[in-house]
Chain A
Amino acid sequence: MDRTERLPDAELEVMQALWAHKEYPASSGALMEALAGKRWRTPTLLKLLTRLEERGFVRRDKEGRNNLYTPLVRREDYLAAESREFLRRLHGGSLPSLVAALMDSRAISQADLAELEDILRGGGGGA
């Protein structure tokens, strides 16, 4: 996908709510409900949705007086793009030093993996 731009926090929240919605299209009312915890006013939501529409992230269909929204970007695609950029930002995959990761691995070759598996199976163990 070409839309690798990173969404601002608020717009991402709207997208998260839309992605989490079980059926598409979703009405703005349903989205408002899903975002109830945010204390947004409806115009705020509509403005955010308009911006998302301009970015090409959602499609708006009119049904009577209701606006119905369908995501045009899948969550996986957007997530993949953002995490790619995230990793790039963080020195190509290494985590900042104030974080304790289970596995702060840089890229590891297949041969390395095989060797590690070997050690794990007990080959390298012993006294």
Chain B
Amino acid sequence: MREFLFSLFEVSLTMGAAAALLLALSPVWKRRFRPQWRYWAWLLVALRLAVPVNLSLPQAPVTLPAPAPVELSAAWADGAGGLRGVEFAARPAEDVPAGEQGGTAQADTAAAEPSPGLSLTGAQLSLLVWAAGAAGVLAVQLSRYAAFRRRTRRWRSPAGACGGIPVDTCALLSAPVLVGLVRPRILLPEGLTEEQRAYALAHEGAHAWRRDLWYKALLLWVCALHWFNPLVWALRRAAERDVEICCDAAALAGRDEGWRRGYGAALLSFVSARPAAPLTSQFAGGVRGLRERFRALASAAPTRRGRIALALVLCAALLGASLVSCQQEVPAPPTATPPGEMLDPAGLADGTYWATLLPSSWVQEDTVAELTLTLVEVDPDTMALTSGMPYQGDGVTLPLAEDVVLGNHGDRGLRDFLMWSLASSHYPVVLEVEVSGGEITAMTWHDASLPEGTPPVTAAEVEAVVHGVDPEAGTLTYAEDDGNVGADSAWITAPVPRDGPIDLETLWERVAPLSSWGLPCTLLVQSDGWIAGVKAGSLYDGVYHIGPIRSVTATLEEDGSIAAFDAYLYEVDPETGQAARTVREAEFQLSWLDDSGPEPRYRPYGDIALCNEDGTPYGGSATAFLEDYMADWEVLGQPSAAGRPILQVTIGGGVVTSMTRLPAPESNP
């Protein structure tokens, strides 16, 4: 009895420490590892927790004391080779046939022995408290489950099958579920569309195929055994979330972008379909997990694998844990120098650091939990960067302290503070960061300068595929177009100047509907990582001036409207408004290639802003606007430069987004 309690607490403590370590490192390893690895890590720890006997003792005494609930766990330990214990957990303790407790003459004698050193009553009391807790947790969870099965059964009606698993509709439910450890069964809410049904079956079928319910049952069993240990409950929460993410990944494996989006939309539709039951509003805890799942869905680039590092961490955690025994002092949770150093060589000691900050997805969050910094070195006297270039080099991710102190530019809150690197007209700006206890406790911005002898910022054209655009953060995500762009490409998220020629909103409108990996285009990438230009058509996005239209180069089949035209570019003197022709000639596109259907086709770009000379909006179509313009050229265009109509054309995402007729300049003899 004493041994059992000791080993239970020992396993609970050491595995709790391992779980704490894994949880503490999760900001790092979330970034580095596929969720599948986290899934297996949780499983290892959970399996150890599920068998709370001390495996390292040579004689391995299985104690079987009298109180019923302990027989439960002993029998579990016995069946540890397989997962038999889970099914067993559903049985009341009294039903355990003596034979099932397995070969244990030795165990009986162990139970008969009085426990030396501990007062019997004390040991018995703690055992009773523990057993009552464990039985209570199991009883509550299983009765909830039983109630769920009972209540849904009344409303079931068969609706086909999915890979051998029966599928029913159940009017009581608002979201699809998988039930049944032994005989899985999928329950769908009523009134799903064909599409929703397909997505739901993909997800629940993946759950069934992966035997996720057994995983969940194991977690439940572990929580019942270790009900007194909050770290075990935390482990379960994290593990269940990762199960969902892994399941999403399995359901999405080999699917294209369009399917992915549909899947995500289906997830959302089940969220919004939930009736606003009066009591549900107090439970707002699901959003965090959802957010992660959506991140995982939307992120094209899978995180790095890093099996070796993960294996090392796990070994360290498990070994370290099993080397500690209860006779010694309670081990301190290994947070001081975690083996996580291996994951992140830049794990920062307390102190002050200089860094640049690459804008990324954090601007989406209401509350920023962590930041990825690119460390640089700065000479504090001259504020010149002495090593490292802005945004270049590996990032280090640190959590933010809750009461993080913001210095310069921090008066409008954290969000605006973080945007400063984009908003500032000075380049570069560096962040002075104070780190304490592994957290960022204070930050302030400084203007810096580039080291002397730094080559001037240059820019190079890069053939690329733009996959994601984040207008709010002012970034776009691209990969170099090697003809084989996909999930494995090196995706780069790069900042775009706010006041530059690139209109990210418009670019996003072009990228979003594409079914392929993204929009092929030419990017003007500066040596400092910023994107200076995007060319999806024949011209970089921006504002251009043209004189006469040389020819209409394409019309749409449907209605003959102008799809593209050709013209010389003009230069306009901002002082006088005088325009002069250049030798550059370019094609302007008013339509875009829609490749989402079975056959790619050109579609008119609908939202072209048309504006008359006097600043009023033009009422008709773009084609009519251009025809008017061409007609005016016939009349007015000859022969002198003054007074000739000039058109200001804006290109966004490679397509004409606005056309404005400029007022004629003062006649200049």
Contacts and interface: CB of A to CB of B under 8 A. Distances in A.
B290 A108 contact: yes
A102 B177 contact: yes
Given A108-B284, A119-B294, A96 B148 contact: yes
A116 B468 contact: no
B291 A115 contact: yes
B280 A83 contact: no
Contacts of A90: 144, 147-148
A19 B270 CA distance: 26
Contact of B290 (A13, A101, A116, A121): A116
B175 A97 contact: no
- Interface centre among A93, A98, A112, by most chain B C-beta atoms within 10 angstroms, is A98
Interface in A59-93: 79-80, 82-84, 86-93
B280 A106 contact: yes
A90 B150 CA distance: 12
Contact of B470 (A88, A109, A126): A126
A100 B467 contact: no
A34 interface: no
A94 B177 CA distance: 12
A122 to B, nearest CB: 4
A105 B271 CA distance: 6
Interface string B471-512: 010010100000000000011110000000000000000011
Given A109-B284, A120-B264, A122-B298, A83 B275 contact: yes
Interface in B204-248: 204, 207, 212-213, 216-217, 219-220, 240, 243, 247
B524 to A, nearest CB: 19
A37 interface: no
A30 interface: no
A88 B175 contact: no
A99 to B, nearest CB: 5
Interface in B345-364: 360-361, 364
Nearest to B260: A120
A121 B294 CA distance: 10
- Interface centre among A102, A103, A118, by most chain B C-beta atoms within 10 angstroms, is A102
A47 to B, nearest CB: 19
A45 B271 CA distance: 40
B145 A99 contact: yes
B268 A123 contact: no
B603 interface: no
B545 interface: no
A9 to B, nearest CB: 6
B277 A88 contact: yes
Given A97-B141, A102-B200, A86 B283 contact: no
A33 interface: no
B148 A120 contact: no
Contacts of B141: 96-98
A89 to B, nearest CB: 6
Q: Is the interface on chain B under 10, 10 to 19, 20 to 34, or 35 or more residues? A: 35 or more
A95 interface: yes
Given A90-B144, A98-B181, A99-B177, A84 B277 contact: yes
A102 B203 contact: yes
Contact of B179 (A79, A99, A104): A99
B176 interface: yes
A120 B267 CA distance: 10
B364 A82 contact: no
Contacts of A93: 274, 277, 279-280, 283
A43 interface: no
Contact of A116 (B148, B275, B291, B492): B291
A127 B217 contact: no
Nearest to B264: A120
- Interface centre among A13, A115, A119, by most chain B C-beta atoms within 10 angstroms, is A119
Contacts of A123: 298, 361, 364, 468-470, 472
Contacts of B243: 100
A88 to B, nearest CB: 5
B200 A126 contact: no
Given A98-B181, A98-B216, A127-B301, A113 B294 contact: no
B282 A92 contact: yes
B268 A119 contact: no
Interface string A20-56: 0000000000000000000000000000000000000
A126 B216 contact: no
Contacts of A89: 147, 151
B265 interface: yes
A106 B287 CA distance: 8
Contacts of A100: 177-179, 204, 207, 212-213, 216, 243, 247
Nearest to A104: B286
Contacts of B285: 106
Contacts of A127: 299-301, 477, 490-493
B279 A102 contact: no
B281 interface: yes
B295 interface: yes
Nearest to A8: B154
B276 interface: yes
B398 interface: no
A102 to B, nearest CB: 4
B8 interface: no
Interface in B592-634: none
A107 B147 contact: no
A105 B219 CA distance: 20
A102 B199 CA distance: 10
B295 A102 contact: no
A89 B138 CA distance: 17
B274 A126 contact: no
B295 to A, nearest CB: 6
B290 A105 contact: yes
Given A101-B175, A106-B284, A120 B297 contact: yes
Given A93-B283, A96-B148, A103 B207 contact: no
B541 to A, nearest CB: 19
A120 B492 CA distance: 19
A84 B275 CA distance: 9
Contacts of A98: 141-142, 145, 179, 181, 213, 216-217, 220
6 contacts: A90-B148, A92-B279, A93-B274, A119-B298, A126-B467, A126-B470
Interface of B: 141-142, 144-145, 147-148, 151, 154-155, 171-172, 174-179, 181, 200, 203-204, 207, 212-213, 216-217, 219-220, 240, 243, 247, 261, 264-265, 267-268, 270-272, 274-287, 290-291, 294-295, 297-301, 360-361, 364, 366, 467-470, 472, 475, 477, 490-493, 511-512
Which 10 A/B pairs are nearest by Cβ-Cβ distance?
A106-B283, A126-B477, A127-B491, A125-B298, A93-B280, A119-B294, A120-B264, A92-B279, A103-B270, A106-B286
Given A102-B175, A126-B491, 6 more contacts: A97-B216, A99-B177, A101-B176, A102-B204, A116-B294, A122-B512
